[in-house]
Chain A
Amino acid sequence: MSYAIETRDLVYRASKHFTLRNLNLKVPTGSIYGFLGANGAGKTTTIRVALGLLRPHSGLVRVLDGTMPGDAPRLLARVGYVPEQPHLDPTFTVGEMLRFQAAFYKTWENARAAELLLQFRLDEHHTIGRLSKGQKAKLLILLALAQRGELLVLDEPTDGLDPVVRRDILAALVEYVSQHQATILISSHLVHELERICDWVGIVDDGRLIAEMPMARLKDGTKRLRVRGAPAAVAETPFTLLARRANGTGETWVVRDWSPDMTSYFPSIGALLDDVIDLDLEDGFVELLRTSRDPAAA
């Protein structure tokens, strides 16, 4: 499998209190990769290091076919980036900003930019400073899409937007991927939003990557089990036991990598499996975070 972004043992110290620690991120080429994490978990810092905006203290960052930050100018020509905070000059009009960007990207598509202007209902005579939050977000997406990058890196692009704008943006992204076979890394803490569009997911917490897997595996393989009569200490399990909590007469286990044939495991340890409950991505995400923060619970 080839990767559009790959980090190996990446270390970056942002401050005394926050460090990216040995981050090994692998974003498969052609995927829509949801980069999940709580606020302050390290999503934006990881993205900035990956794009060469910050220099890592150690480790390797590969993006497309080059390394960052050494090959940044060449690679950034093929990467569309939407930062968390709008960064464009507020005195520019939308049209001026389009022309400015077009001058820097050989792959820029004026026709596509015009299409997206109509689709997003943006007026090219409006100054950026006077656009609403939703319009600014749309403009940033438009700029990233019109440059026809092979890789789009979107840092919380829909944070704080209303559902209509969010839907417009996500629809445009999905359409772009289907047309161009591009890779998208989209960071968010809005789990439900990513559940709809992502096929891979990575979860970061306190500067560490705590899980990375196909979305289907996380959604289908993460379950809450109601168990009775399990011994206090269990040996090797065929699944990954994330958490184990007492619950009335029995216990609740939260497991990963579950498959239905694993029910036979419980009689083998003298326990009884009462129920298998599906978790949605948000529940799975929360359980993974809990386990990461309190490993003793597992």
Chain B
Amino acid sequence: MFRAILYSQWKWSRLIVALGTIAGFALPIVSLQGAARGDRSPLDAEQLLRAVQGWGTLYPLLATALGLLVAVASWAPDHRGRHVHALTLPLPRWRYVLLRFGAGSTMLATPIIAVCAGALLATVAATLPPGLQGYPFALTLRFALAVLVAYALFFAVSAGTARTAGFILSAIALLVAVQIIARVANPDWDLAGHVQVVLVNWPGPLAVFTGRWMLIDV
């Protein structure tokens, strides 16, 4: 059963996964390009860290894009068929959702492995200044977490009906409205800021996306 679902997932998201895999493999290598070139003297530590940090902003973006696109691809054909096919399959709905989620997660393993391979290759090939070392596995683990968080989030949203999307948009609109009213009443009160802190700062669910994404660090 899972194989059948996985096959359908592969059909729907193979292009996204292929592009994500190429990008995931290339990103660590490109980020250490300067350090890896033997015909130049190695970049000094500060320059290298700055370059790696600059490229590092692309990891959460790639993770978000992959999570979003694979999640949308997981549900789009079902939405097009008004879920009739899925609903008439002889299995509980929760199990179908779980199988779909599992299939998408499995597909996302490929770009995660590509990031790991690229990061390992880049750190092995690079000539690092003294005092710096590579963290390919830590970076991969973080990337994997970010991809899965993004995927889970967008999967849940994509699985919903237009009504669910309406609820989410209404909640955001309500937040904005409360923020505007609260600002008028008390200019120091920043609801959006509070929400952002709760979501993005540790241990918020989106904390994995923030901070520095360093393949090379002290």
- Chain A positions near chain B (C-beta within 8 angstroms): 51-53, 72-77, 79, 81, 83, 85, 87-89, 91-92, 96, 99-100, 103-105
Instruction: Identify the 9 closest CB pairs spanning chains A and B, nearest first.
Output: A77-B90, A103-B4, A87-B81, A87-B84, A76-B90, A89-B77, A87-B85, A100-B4, A73-B92
Q: Which of B6-14, B51-59, B104-112, B191-199 contacts A (4 or more CB under 8 A)?
A: B6-14
- Chain B positions near chain A (C-beta within 8 angstroms): 1, 3-4, 7-8, 11-12, 77, 80-82, 84-85, 87-92, 95
B8 in contact with A100 (CB, 8 Å): yes
Q: A residues within 8 A CB of B3?
A: 103
The 8 Å CB contact of A91, one of B4, B77, B84, is: B77
Q: How far is the CA of A53 from the CA of B85 in the complex (A)?
A: 10
B87 in contact with A53 (CB, 8 Å): yes
A103 in contact with B1 (CB, 8 Å): yes
**How many A-B contacts are there with CB distance less than 8 Å?**
54
Shortest distance between the CB of B127 and any CB in chain A (Å): 47
Q: From A51, A73, A74, A88, name the one whose CB has the most chain B CB atoms within 10 angstroms.
A: A73
A89 in contact with B4 (CB, 8 Å): no
Q: B residues within 8 A CB of A104?
A: 1, 4, 89-91
Q: How far is the CA of A96 from the CA of B10 in the complex (A)?
A: 12
Shortest distance between the CB of B107 and any CB in chain A (Å): 16
The 8 Å CB contact of A92, one of B11, B80, B87, B91, is: B11
Q: How far is the CA of A105 from the CA of B77 in the complex (A)?
A: 21
Closest A residue by C-beta to B91: A73
Q: B residues within 8 A CB of A53?
A: 84, 87-88
The interface residues of chain B, by DSSP majority, are classed as helix
Q: A residues within 8 A CB of B91?
A: 73, 104
The 8 Å CB contact of A100, one of B7, B12, B90, B92, is: B7
Q: How far is the CA of A77 from the CA of B82 in the complex (A)?
A: 20
A76 in contact with B88 (CB, 8 Å): yes
Shortest distance between the CB of A287 and any CB in chain B (Å): 34
Shortest distance between the CB of B137 and any CB in chain A (Å): 36
A87-B85, A89-B77, A104-B1 known; A96-B7 Cβ under 8 A:
yes
B4 in contact with A105 (CB, 8 Å): no
Q: B residues within 8 A CB of A103?
A: 1, 3-4
Shortest distance between the CB of A281 and any CB in chain B (Å): 29
A89 in contact with B87 (CB, 8 Å): no
Q: B residues within 8 A CB of A52?
A: 87
Shortest distance between the CB of A208 and any CB in chain B (Å): 25
Q: A residues within 8 A CB of B95?
A: 73
Q: How far is the CA of A92 from the CA of B11 in the complex (A)?
A: 8
A91 in contact with B1 (CB, 8 Å): no
Shortest distance between the CB of B213 and any CB in chain A (Å): 35
Closest A residue by C-beta to B92: A73
A83-B84, A103-B3 known; A91-B89 Cβ under 8 A:
no
Closest A residue by C-beta to B84: A87
A99-B4, A103-B3, A103-B4 known; A89-B90 Cβ under 8 A:
no
23 contacts between A and B (CB under 8 A): A52-B87, A72-B92, A73-B92, A74-B90, A75-B90, A76-B90, A77-B90, A81-B88, A87-B81, A87-B84, A87-B85, A88-B81, A89-B77, A89-B85, A91-B12, A92-B11, A96-B7, A96-B11, A100-B4, A100-B8, A103-B3, A104-B4, A104-B89
Shortest distance between the CB of B90 and any CB in chain A (Å): 4
Q: B residues within 8 A CB of A89?
A: 8, 77, 80-81, 85
B82 in contact with A87 (CB, 8 Å): yes
Closest B residue by C-beta to A80: B88
Shortest distance between the CB of B59 and any CB in chain A (Å): 31
Q: A residues within 8 A CB of B88?
A: 51, 53, 76, 79, 81, 83
Q: How far is the CA of A105 from the CA of B89 in the complex (A)?
A: 9
Q: A residues within 8 A CB of B81?
A: 87-89
Shortest distance between the CB of A67 and any CB in chain B (Å): 15
Q: From A52, A87, A88, A92, name the one whose CB has the most chain B CB atoms within 10 angstroms.
A: A87
